[in-house]
Amino acid sequence: MKFPPVEPGSDAAACCPVRDVLDVIGDRWSLLALTTLSAGTLRLTQLKRAIGDISQRMLAQTLRTLERDGYLSRKVYPTIPPKVEYSLTPLGRSLLGRLEPLIEWAAENHTRVRKARKAYVPPAAISAL
């Protein structure tokens, strides 16, 4: 697939569908939230516990963005305190279906990537020798 060249900062850069989608799903937390929800509907506290090292504020912001873009739905129950549940939409499930090979690749190659990171010597360190 070939994409037309885009000048940084131009209106075309803002309209590029690949950039537009990847800006959201390519951040640090979105894929973790989406993959966690692949197991089914979860409450905010369950999501936070499953993801682990995400702040409450960042999780809420990530979920709002994913809801805005149609990847997940949010259901509020009129109880005290309010009960809120999140689940994947058909669009979110479709996205995860496309990302499963990448997720599997990451799991299969995690050890090799960590080993490469450990062995890496930055160019600045080499020139200082």
Query: How high is the pLDDT of residue 36?
Result: 95
Predicted confidence at residue 2, as pLDDT, reads: 60
Cα(58)–Cα(71) distance, integer angstroms:
17
Q: Give dist(CA 101, CA 107) in Å, integer.
A: 10
Question: For 5-57, what is each residue's pLDDT tens digit?
Answer: 666 556 665 678 888 888 888 888 999 999 999 999 999 999 999 999 999 99
Q: pLDDT tens digits, residue range 52-107? A: 999 999 999 999 999 999 999 999 999 998 899 999 999 999 999 999 999 999 99
For 35, 80, 99, the CA distances from 71, given in Å and listed in that order, are 11, 27, 13
The verdict on domain 11-127 having CATH code 1.10.10.10 is yes
pTM over 0.75: yes
CA dist., res. 57 & res. 63, Å (int): 10
The Cα-based distances of 109 to 24, 26, 34, 113 in angstroms read 24, 19, 21, 6
